[in-house]
Structure 1
Amino acid sequence: MVTVAGGRFAPGHLGELTRIVPFEMVDAVLAETGSVQRRVRALPSRVVVYLLLAAGLFAELGYGQVWRRLAAGLEGLAVASPTGAALAQARRRIGAAPLRALFELLAGPAACTATRGVYWRGLLVCAIDGTTMACPDTPANLAVLRKGGGHHGGTGYPLVRLLVLVGCGTRTLIDAVFGPTSSGETTYATGLLRSLRAGMIVLADRNFASQKLINAIAGTGADVLVRVKNGRKLPVCARYGDGSYLSRLGELKVRVVACEITIATSAGSRTGVYRLVTTLTDPACPASQIIKLYHDRWEIETAYLEIKSTILGGRVLRARTPAGLDQEIYALLVTYQALRIAITDATIAQPGIDPDRGSFTIALAAARDQLILAAGVIADTVIADTVIDLVGTIGRHVLADLLPDRRLRTNPRVVKRAISKFVAKGDRIRGPSYKATIGIHICPPADP
């Protein structure tokens, strides 16, 4: 039996993910932002919010097709059949504010201290990085956004810059900011400082290695680990026994670790020189562990892959106006976060299972199926000693087909998706991956 909300609210659901984004939460953000309808319409505001979230599960479909999937499992119920114009008007009516408030409620690392792979030496491992998302080439969007450049004449689409703070162990979103690409990543990064605190360590690439930003991150109480350019002048104030040394960025004491990393495969080997700067100045923390920790920064790249490739499939966003883009991006981030929470809930109670072994693709497919069936929208009533099912159907699908433990493999830097099929030729296209071994050699600073 399908159990959903009553009357005109019935199509307002997210399948089993409704347990993570429940009716009460949606109603609360609508009330907080003054977006509740004055009278119960054919498309109540709560229903419109769930429509926007469901669109994140079906990025390849228009809103009319998404609506049909919301109503597909409601056979026997009187469900509205809105036109495309009615859906567009309803989306404009509620605006972006409820979706932003919803994201702020759900944002966070979604894990406990016992979760494997989430904490390192008692610190919550996080990463900051940016990406761009393409949107429709309309006059309204072009009035605020600009097209990207490149060696092939640009992207052809206006771009939105998105910056997120990710919990590396679960790939959940702790915070996010976005806007025009006229502002750079380090400018947007200051908008994420509000979510940093003591007990975190933030990983970042060379683009974020400005003295001002590193000092700002340290000022929140969080630790930082960032790669810097090899030629950057960092004075030697004191030496550690493991080859790293103490230095300063302005008034901030930092530890510098320079190393050579060699990746060896059956096809040969390659050595690169890396310099890392961190506020972890305790000599009890070995430099070799700091180097290995920095590799976790790549988890944020996987999070962007899940959003831009797995969910969006490389497509541009739908919205044709800047206000619509704000609404759509926040809805997309909420949907992504709900999926990541579902994966974490499934793996968190499994001893020895790292949350990153939960397949995002499987979770997305299961969530789509549950939405079409309108299944798991309202949890069954708990009776006597009945155990509440926190895993759910989505979680069981994830646990039934866990990804293998992360294997050490490498892939040459080649074109994996050529812009034109006419240049997709040669040895530098879609190269194979290789089993690899990594060698790390710490390079002490030269004597003065």
Structure 2
Amino acid sequence: MFAPGHLGELTQLVPFEMVDEVLAEAGGRERRLRELPSRVVVYLLLAAGLFAELGYRQVWARLTSGLAEPGPVPSSSALAQARRRVGVAPVKALFELLAGPPAGATRWRSLLVCALDGTTMSVPDSPANLARYGHQSGSHGGSGYPLVRVLAVVACGTRTLLAVRFGPFKSGECTYAPQVFGCLRSGMVLLGDRMFAVRALVTAIAETGADLLIRCKNNRSLPRLDTLADGSFISILGGVTVRVIDAEITVTLSGTSRRTGRYRLITTLTDHRRYPALELLTLYHHRWEIETTYLELKSTVLGGRVLRARTPQGVDQEIYALLTAYQALRLAMAEATVAQTALQADRASFTIALHTARDQIIHAAGIIADSVIDLIGKIGRAVLADPLPPRRVRVSPRIVKRAISKHRAKGQADRTNHRAAIAIDVLTEPESTTAQAP
């Protein structure tokens, strides 16, 4: 009966003992012997996170296809009852056990580089989901499906999840942000966009001991307390001493057209000799790695699909299972790139890792480690055998990539990813215009 409960090779990262422990602590363990033990149900939920296009009975078929004796096939209602019996708490606890940076995670000047940002996920438009989560309204007709707002802190490079919070769409990202700051500590630098450049959040981040590098509005009124040799200056925001870096960034597209924009960054890394302004401006570009993380979750794994669950409890359970499966896969990829020091973590193909992990589940392979421990495994070897090419410098316009209507809107929209050359100039002179109030 326990044989169908596995995650292929990823079971070594989410072992039976770990699942049994979270079930015992969360009270999700069965009180009598069942054909669907709680441990098996947890692995079913995790596997469903990797087979997002399939219903739970089809996921079950893949869990058992590689077994010599697959046993009886449970009905849809039996699987639904088993998922309700397990509940949310064990899956949430499992994710929290796995959350965090892997050994050998990418660092910049001894600091672990992390990024903070939010996204949304669509859920079925059942009355319960609509009442709980709500949907986005607007002149284009709204989102159509209820939306869950998700906020995460991601380790750049390995793109592993450090902390995640999610809930109703009506609550903004700044509302959820303090709930993920518990993962921050000294030795980290947090990258964030302009939304998070508010006094309360800057103060809360600084109190954790972590450093920050956040973009703010160019006309943000910040007092110039001291001008440093590289042109940046010391200021104060929310009682926190910050360094302000102004820069002009010129992007040349395909050697012809040019675009120039202004950036203003605030950071608690105030030592301009140890942390040069130009390097900080270049480092800030890595904030986009959290956007890639959301792309992997929502496009590569989910394929743009709506989640399955029609109740808020089911949505919570499904999201935590999805995040746990993603984290386990990312940890397996990180182990491979750490072992191969010549390969940077961001050149590991998530798509290759995902399909290899699916194959291991279907074949029920690699569940228990052999006597000779394989630190890389088939997932790692597949990633190392076909790495992504070095990332090219490209820019892409910030527009809707998937239009609400299939009919062409008025005017032309440039959706081309352009090859580009980027030049960064740190501005050393204060603005001549009077800054506006924040």
TM-score of the superposed pair, with normalisation by structure 1? 0.93
Selected match of 2:62 from 69, 74, 78? 69
Q: How far is the alpha carbon of 1:416 from its aligned partner?
A: 2.9
Partner of 1:333: 323
Contact 1:43 1:90 in 2 (8 A): yes
Distance in 2 of aligned mates of 1:182 and 1:435 = 37
Measured against aligned partners, the alpha-carbon deviations of 1:4-35 in whole angstroms (never above 9, x if no partner) come to xxxx0000001111111111110110011111
Q: Provide the secondary structure at the position in 2 that maps to 1:262.
A: strand
Other-structure match for 2:129: 141
> Which position in structure 2 is the counterpart of 1:84?
76
Aligned partner of 2:263 in structure 1 is: 274
Determine if contact 1:416/1:429 at 8 Å carries over to the other structure: no
Aligned twin of 1:195: 183
Aligned mates of 2:65, 2:411 — CA distance in 1: 47
Q: 1:342 Cα shift?
A: 0.9
In structure 2, C-alpha distance between the alignment counterparts of 1:443 and 1:430, rounded to whole Å: 31
The letter for the 2-side match of 1:333 is L
Superposed counterparts of 1:281-430, under 5 Å: 281-284=270-273, 285-382=275-372, 388-423=373-408, 427-428=412-413, 430=415
- Mean Cα displacement is larger for which, 227-236 or 263-272? 263-272
SS in structure 1 opposite 2:407?
helix
- Offset at 1:419? 2.4
Quickly say closer, same or farther: Cα 1:297–1:53, change in 2 above 3 A. Answer: same
2:88 alignment partner AA:
A
Give the structure 1 partner of residue 139 of structure 2.
151
Give, in whole Å, the separation in 2 of the partners of 1:375 and 1:256. Answer: 53
1:425 Cα deviation from its structure 2 partner:
8.6
In the TM superposition, what whole-angstrom CA distance separates every residue of 1:46-92 from its partner, at most 9, and x where no partner exists?
A: 000000000011100110111111011013x1522100000000000
Q: Give the match's secondary structure for 1:291.
A: helix
One of 31, 52, 55 as aligned partner of 1:38:
31
Q: CA 1:421–1:435 in 2, change beyond 3 Å: closer, same or farther?
A: same
Q: Which residue of 2 aligns with 1:434?
A: 418
Residue 245 (structure 2) pairs with residue 260 (structure 1): no
Q: Is the 8 A contact 1:415 1:428 kept in 2?
A: no
CA distance in 1, matches of 2:70, 2:99: 35
Deviation at 1:182, TM superposition (A): 1.9
Cα distance between partner residues in 2 of 1:63 and 1:228: 45
Q: Hey, what's the Cα distance between the residues in 2 that align with 1:326 and 1:197? A: 27
Gap regions ≥5 residues in structure 1 = 1-7, 383-387
* Contact persistence 1:15–1:376 (CA under 8 A): yes
Q: Is the 8 A contact 1:415 1:429 kept in 2?
A: no
1:15 aligns with 2:5: no
- Shift, 1:420, TM fit: 2.1
Deviations for 1:262-302, whole angstroms, at most 9, x for unmatched residues? 00022411001010000000121211011011011000000
Q: Quote how far apart the aligned CAs of 1:194 are.
A: 1.0
Residue identity matched to 1:288: L
Aligned-residue Cα RMSD (Å) equals 1.4
Partner residue of 1:180?
Answer: 168
Report the CA distance between 1:250 and its aligned residue: 3.0
CA offsets 1:354-388 (integer angstroms, 9 cap, x no match): 11111000000001111000011111124xxxxx2
1:261/1:439 contact within 8 Å kept: yes
Secondary structure at the aligned position of 1:436 is classed as strand
Specify whether residues 161 and 249 from structure 1 end up closer, same or farther in structure 2 by C-alpha distance, changes over 3 A only: same
Distance, in Å, in 2 between the alignment partners of 1:250 and 1:169 is 30
Please tell me whether residue 205 in structure 1 is matched to residue 205 in structure 2: no
Indicate how the Cα distance of structure 1 residues 441 and 56 shifts in structure 2: closer, same or farther if over 3 A, else same: same
Q: Secondary structure at the match of 1:92?
A: helix
Q: Counterpart in 1 of 2:207? A: 219
Give 1:59's aligned amino acid: A
Shift in Å, 1:311: 0.4
Query: Is the CA contact 2:397–2:414 (under 8 Å) kept in the aligned structure 1?
Result: no
| Equivalent position of 1:3 in the other structure | none
Q: Give the secondary-structure state (helix, strand or coil) at the position aligned to 1:404.
A: coil
Q: Distance in 2 between matches of 1:158 and 1:317?
A: 11
Q: Distance in 2 between matches of 1:95 and 1:204?
A: 33
Q: Percent identity?
A: 63
Counterpart-to-counterpart distance in 2, 1:287 and 1:429 = 32
Contact 1:164 1:173 in 2 (8 A): yes
Q: Distance in 1 between matches of 2:401 and 2:387?
A: 25
Alignment partner of 1:144: what SS? helix
SS in 2 for 1:293: helix
| CA displacement at 1:443 relative to structure 2 | 1.6
Report deviation, 1:434: 2.6
Whole-angstrom CA distance in 2 between matches of 1:221 and 1:269: 40
Kindly provide the amino acid, as one letter, of the partner of residue 293 in structure 1.
L
CA contact (8 A) 1:357 1:402 kept: yes
For the residue of structure 1 that corresponds to 2:117, the secondary structure is strand
SS state at 1:421 partner: coil
- Segment drifting more, 402-411 vs 353-362: 402-411
Would you say how many aligned residue pairs link Structure 1 and Structure 2? Answer: 430
Distance 2:228 2:354 in 1: 47
- Three-state SS of the structure 1 residue aligned to 2:271 is coil
Is this contact kept in 2: 1:253–1:279, CA < 8 A? Answer: yes
Number of the residue aligned with 1:4: none
Structure 2 length normalisation: TM-score?
Answer: 0.96
> 2: distance between equivalents of 1:95 and 1:405?
43
Gaps of 5+ in 2: none
Q: Contact 2:101–2:162 (CA<8 Å) still a contact in 1?
A: yes
Secondary structure at the residue paired with 1:328? helix
Instruction: Name the SS for the 2:214 alignment partner.
Output: strand
Contact 2:92 2:320 in 1 (8 A): yes
The answer as to whether partners of 2:396 and 2:415 remain within 8 angstroms in 1 is no
Greater mean deviation of Cα atoms: 142-151 or 199-208:
142-151
Is contact 1:173-1:337 (8 Å) kept? yes
